[in-house]
Structure 1
């Protein structure tokens, strides 16, 4: 289980209307005024976005494009080695650029014809109910900033590399997209915070950090692993448990570090049966039936 408050970089507005991204003291860009101003600028653009219109394009710098290019090249090799076939096929179908950061309208243009999903800009953390609930309508809320260039292979928070290389490529797959929509529909169906948190936790251990056995080999499909240069090399050494909804909804985890416990599906069919079945059936009484307790 994970509390939203643990996440980095809340976005605030001053009395004068200025948008400020609050970076943690151990964030790589904390002492970089130029990076901090850049983050504020991109967040302000997202806050000013009017639903129903195209997101304002971000004029990415050469340095930001270089980070994207480096990560894309590094991950391309690792995806071939570690990603499940469904992800690789979806990635090829979406066809994201590898030499520059794509605009969100380009990401939408890649995934919408395949699964109907659209990307909407977010200044930072989106509240759980809004983020997951929007998936039911085929909307993915995405940040647009790029991680700090001093540590291109690491980010303490989800940036556009995670949102697009991880989730965007997944959303080229109708099977993955169906699971995300099911999580969204479940969110709209439940009212209790305990049920909502259970949905978020199961999503975390599947769509974010899911692994699966394929042809006798453990491979990754979760966006968090497949967008992480370091974690993708480490997931096979973690504790791998069988899919278990109650366990996924109660294991403590920290978004800012590698996940020591992962849940491995025996096949894509099992993932759809277990996680998809949970999303399709969860209601406000589910946490009690599973013995899940949520701290007050």
Structure 2
């Protein structure tokens, strides 16, 4: 089971109004005051924003733009080799800059024209139900900070590179965006935490770490793979299983390592039919049905 909170550093506001991002001791920026100060400031900007206001711009430094350039350069050719056709086509249509970090307002302008999605700034972790219900309304909560410069090709938590290169390009596809909307609508229907978690787990193994077949080749469409320099090189060596929602909702795994098991759709059409159908039919009885399915297969 996936616990999304494990991926984010908590953000708090003290009595004097000071906003602090609480990095774990194993975070590469834990002892780096130069990194932590702007990280706190970016979180404060997100906390101060309110719906209806213009999306806030971040004054990214040359170093942060440099990290974006490094990651974009390393991922560019790998996307051509390993990403699914749909992702490549909509990535070109969205046309995000590769030489600097784009502002969320820029991403939103492009997405609104292609799929109707908009971005919303988040200081860190967004409560599970709030995050998924927003997807149902065509809204994606996104962080705006950049990963630590000591590890430009890796981040222990979702940063703007993951949120935009991974999810932003996906959301430019009306077909993939529709699946995320369907997951959000499912979250709005269910009342139990167990059912919501089942939706989140299937989302994790599809929208985050999903793969599919194209002309017999294994291709990635999940944002977690397509925004990770390391994972995109390794995903074809993992154990590839057919789509199995009962298994997705119950399997345990270590989020600090590359995913050892991936679930594969036979095509984009199959992905839409199967995963879209799962989200469309999800309700509070879904966990019980999945357990029954898993038990019948043993």
Q: TM above 0.5, one fold?
A: yes
Tell me whether 255-264 or 208-217 shows the greater mean CA deviation. Answer: 255-264
1:91 counterpart residue number: 91
2:263 alignment partner, SS class: strand
1:263 alignment partner, SS class: strand
1:268 counterpart residue number: 268
1:214 counterpart residue number: 214
Taking the TM superposition and a 5 Å limit, the aligned residue runs for 1:173-192 are 173-192=173-192
Where has structure 1 moved over 6 Å in runs of 4 or more?
none
Q: How far apart are residue 5 of structure 1 and its match?
A: 4.0
User: Structure 1: where are the runs of 5+ without partners?
Assistant: none
What is the rounded CA distance, in whole Å, between the counterparts of 2:101 and 2:252 in structure 1? 33
Q: How far apart are residue 253 of structure 1 and its match?
A: 2.5
Q: How far apart are residue 98 of structure 1 and its match?
A: 0.6
Q: How far apart are residue 255 of structure 1 and its match?
A: 2.7
1:39 counterpart residue number: 39
2:295 counterpart residue number: none
What is the rounded CA distance, in whole Å, between the counterparts of 1:250 and 1:94 in structure 2? 36
TM-score by length of 2: 0.96
What is the rounded CA distance, in whole Å, between the counterparts of 1:72 and 1:266 in structure 2? 28
What is the rounded CA distance, in whole Å, between the counterparts of 1:5 and 1:269 in structure 2? 32
Tell me whether 64-73 or 283-292 shows the greater mean CA deviation. Answer: 283-292
Taking the TM superposition and a 5 Å limit, the aligned residue runs for 1:26-175 are 26-175=26-175
Q: How far apart are residue 30 of structure 1 and its match?
A: 0.6
What is the rounded CA distance, in whole Å, between the counterparts of 2:272 and 2:195 in structure 1? 19
2:229 alignment partner, SS class: coil
CA contact (8 A) 1:46 1:55 kept: no
What is the rounded CA distance, in whole Å, between the counterparts of 2:156 and 2:74 in structure 1? 19
Q: String of CA shifts for 1:142-166, please: whole Å, max 9, x gaps.
A: 0000000111001000000000000
2:257 alignment partner, SS class: coil
Q: How far apart are residue 179 of structure 1 and its match?
A: 0.2
Q: How far apart are residue 270 of structure 1 and its match?
A: 1.3
- The count of residues paired between Structure 1 and Structure 2 equals 292
Q: String of CA shifts for 1:171-209, please: whole Å, max 9, x gaps.
A: 110100000000000000100001100000000000000
Residue 227 of structure 2 corresponds to residue 244 of structure 1: no
Residue 273 of structure 2 corresponds to residue 280 of structure 1: no
Q: String of CA shifts for 1:50-72, please: whole Å, max 9, x gaps.
A: 21111221000000000001111
TM-score by length of 1: 0.97
1:9 counterpart residue number: 9
Q: How far apart are residue 274 of structure 1 and its match?
A: 1.4
Q: How far apart are residue 34 of structure 1 and its match?
A: 1.1
Q: How far apart are residue 264 of structure 1 and its match?
A: 0.7
What is the rounded CA distance, in whole Å, between the counterparts of 2:158 and 2:257 in structure 1? 12
User: Structure 2: where are the runs of 5+ without partners?
Assistant: 293-298
2:296 counterpart residue number: none
